[in-house]
């Protein structure tokens, strides 16, 4: 087992990424650029957590966790655009929002632990 597979934030980010990908598959009215960006940002969260956990120095780990957190923010901003374009309802948006907020807090804890 790899170290990142033991991290709760990694597990949660994988589940959320699958939810985002499933949402994108089911929702056809999203601008192709926004669709692609959301898919990339959501995937970036997962892969940067994994890559960061494999680094040896705290500074390197921290850098990748910061990138993952930035991708959380990017994902939320894209979901806001989709919501404002009335493609998803408030309940769906709120669910995604709260899950991303939880990841952001977990990543902040990881970032702070690398000082």
Sketch the domain layout of the chain as residue ranges: 3-113
Per-residue pLDDT tens for 41-97? 999 999 999 999 999 999 999 999 999 999 999 999 999 999 999 999 999 999 999
pLDDT digits (tens, 9 = 90+) for 10-36: 999 999 999 999 999 999 899 999 999
Q: Two tokens at 102? A: 């939880």
Hey, what CATH topology would domain 3-113 get? de novo design (two linked rop proteins) (1.20.1440)
Alpha carbon distance 2, 65 (integer Å): 17
**What is the pTM for the complete model shown?**
0.96
Q: CA-to-CA distance for 24 and 93, rounded, in angstroms?
A: 13
Q: What is the pLDDT, as a whole number, of residue 94?
A: 98
N-to-C CA span, the chain:
26
């Amino acid at each position: 087992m790899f170290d990142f597979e033991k991290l709760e934030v990694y597990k949660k980010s994988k589940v959320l990424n699958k939810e985002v990908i499933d949402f994108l598959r089911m929702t056809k009215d999203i601008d192709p650029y926004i669709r692609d960006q959301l898919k990339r940002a959501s995937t970036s969260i997962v892969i940067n957590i994994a890559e960061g956990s494999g680094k040896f120095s705290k500074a390197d780990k921290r850098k990748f966790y910061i990138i993952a957190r930035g991708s959380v923010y990017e994902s939320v901003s894209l979901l806001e655009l989709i919501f404002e374009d009335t493609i998803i309802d408030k309940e769906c948006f709120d669910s995604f929002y709260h899950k991303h907020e939880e990841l952001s807090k977990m990543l902040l804890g990881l970032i702070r632990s690398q000082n």
